Amino acid sequence: MNLVPAALRDRIRLTLSGSSNEPPEWSVRLDEGDDGGFFAPGSATWGVHGGMSTIVAGIRALLIQALHPGAMAGVHDHSRYKEDPLGRLAGTIRWIFTVSYGDTRTAIGTSNWVLKMHERVVGSYVDARGVSRPYAANDPELLRWVHLAFTDSFLATAKLYGKPIPGGPDAYVREWAKAGELMGVRNPPRSEAELSAQLRQYLDAGELVYNDRVAEAVSFIRRPPLGRSLMPGYALLFAGAVASIPEPYRGMLRLRVPSLGPIRMPVAAVTRLTLRVIAGTLEKDPPSELAARRRLARLGIDAPAITRR
């Protein structure tokens, strides 16, 4: 029996998929195409991206990405995240799942479309040393930072709040390096150790900073305009995201792991419970994965059965 009120279920579905009743058209059309795509059933990518921990990962990735002043400048100057946060979320979700579940032509085409949109994201920013520098969203080093923050966040939250990753953490980092390459990242990390080392390089080089723009972004991410009915649950997910960020990044963001409730329940346990409740409001199987499986069946490619994540 689903204990979540119908109105709240519809609101959650609308927030996460853009529709309260039907999956997005683009996800259904992932059954088109003439090959199996870059990632297969049973892969680490399908295992991580098919899990509910991705909701927490998205929050964490935005927080980490904000620490690079060049990346933050692009968001501040060009993104409509304050006016249309769900629209930006929907666009990111579309890219992630198209690359994860689509055929190779669609995955490449969607990535190229994002890069084309990035061409107009240019300007200047003040770096951590107070020097004014130009930026471009398609700059390889900014693309690298975004890829690293994304990969680290999806990996960390999957390890904390998801099921075991097929092939282990190294398999996920190695596989998702392909997505980085599609977005113009040169030599992306291919192991968990390489991922941590490349992230640390930005920190050790003094390229990360906390400033007014970061404070503004963190405040918005902490309390986005989701509506009163969703905010209690979102606050728990935000706490789960913060708990998954290691020092010194969490300290730079001026965040600390909160105590949840008068009995100080463990954040990880509360986050897992919240994700299970959300899972009960969504379709049993991810629409993008179902569409990909229809394509694989049409092409005669064997695929193991879906297991609930």
pLDDT digits (tens, 9 = 90+) for 67-81: 999 999 998 888 766
- Quick check: is 304 in a domain? no
- Residue among 234, 243, 244 at smallest CA distance from 277: 234
Is 90 within a domain? yes
Structure token digits, residue 25: 């058209």
Domain assignment present for residue 297? The answer is no
Q: pLDDT band at residue 127, thresholds of 50, 70 and 90?
A: very high
Q: Is residue 306 part of a domain?
A: no
Going by pLDDT thresholds of 50, 70 and 90, the confidence category of residue 181 is: very high
Regarding predicted confidence, which is higher, 229 or 99?
Answer: 99
Q: What percent of the chain has pLDDT over 90?
A: 71
Give 92's pLDDT tier (boundaries 50, 70, 90): confident
Per-residue model confidence as pLDDT tens digits over 11-62 = 555 555 555 567 788 888 999 999 999 999 999 999 999 999 999 999 999 9
DSSP H helices, 36-168, are 44-49, 54-65, 69-78, 85-101, 104-118, 140-161
Residue 258 has pLDDT above 60, yes or no: yes
- What's 244's DSSP letter? T
What's residue 187's pLDDT? 94
Q: What burial class does residue 61 get, using C-beta atoms within 10 Å of its C-beta: 0-12 exposed, 13-18 middle, 19+ buried?
A: buried
Residue 300 lies in a domain: no
Number of domains making up the chain: 1
Single-letter amino acid code for the residue at 69 = P
| Structural domain includes residue 105 | yes
Strands, E assignment, the chain = 122-126, 132-136
Give the pLDDT of residue 16. 58
What percent of the chain clears pLDDT 70, i.e. is strictly above it?
85
The neighbouring-strand residues paired with 123 are 135
> Residue 37 falls within a domain, yes or no?
yes
Cα–Cα nearest to 97, from 284, 299, 291: 291
Q: What is the pLDDT of residue 309?
A: 46
Mean pLDDT of 285-304: 88
| pLDDT averaged over every residue in the chain | 88
Higher model confidence: residue 152 or residue 283?
A: 152
6 occurs within a structural domain? no
Contacts of 136 (CB under 8 A, 6+ apart): 118, 121, 122, 142
What residue numbers bound the domain in which 90 lies? Answer: 13-289
